[in-house]
Amino acid sequence: MCGRFIQASAGQILAEQLGLTLPPDYAPRYNVAPNQSILAIRAPAGAREPAWLRWGLIPAWSPEPRLKYSTINARAETVADKPTYRQAFRQRRCLIPADGFYEWRQIDSGKQPYCIGLVGQQPFALAGLWERWEREGQAVESCTILVTQANASIAPIHDRMPVILDPAAYDVWLDSTVRDPVQLLPLLRPYLADRTMLWPVGLAVNRPGNDGPELMAPV
């Protein structure tokens, strides 16, 4: 799964690549947690736009704007068919800029957090879905991050990883007119192991209230 990630320089870099202007309240964050607002890039009517979305998808059919089960991640293997995600998968896909993400490895003394990113500290985009829930004048726009099997680099600490999209796939992923799972599912593969890197970090990342680039520092 992906339960914590970094959204620092990636937002600005991805926006520049796509010809967008970021919201004025965008600021680097190094410990993004579920239920927080995160920056996403979407194209709801064909035109790309940045948007703040709550991390934890609320299906449009949900009777209230919260769910008792976790929807921060959607499994790539079932996303095309699972009722919670299938409509968003066909029509409401987004890019979620990231500089890295965290996973925890079970060790004898507890859980050791690791920071995972790309070789060269390059920013990237995660595959996401978004949804709009609305009842009686109240509206919430939310999102989820797709996850797939871990690559050989990450597998020793966790069996899943978020889907990191190849930049060549951005156009198709954002195109809401592309709805055939045959075209979309092949994009949701594990990212190349030789282009990912990971290192242990301090326990401060365990607290969502902690933030700052020092959370990424190797220990």
What's the pLDDT score for residue 109? 86
Catalytic-role residue among 2, 94, 115, 143: 2
The total of other beta-carbon atoms located within 10 Å of residue 197's CB is 16
CATH of the domain at 99: 3.90.1680.10
Is 103 one of the annotated active-site residues of the chain?
yes
User: Span 95-102, mean pLDDT?
Assistant: 98
Using CA atoms, how far apart are residues 150 and 170, in angstroms rounded to an integer? 21
Say how many domains are in the chain. Answer: 1
Using CA atoms, how far apart are residues 185 and 127, in angstroms rounded to an integer? 11
Q: Which residues have CB under 8 Å from 3's CB, separation 6+? A: 33, 34, 72, 73, 102
> Which residues span the domain enclosing 203?
5-216
* Burial (CB count within 10 angstroms: exposed 0-12, middle 13-18, buried 19+), residue 9: middle
Catalytic-role residue among 94, 103, 131, 143: 103
- pLDDT level of residue 68 (50, 70, 90 thresholds): low
Mean pLDDT estimate for the chain:
95
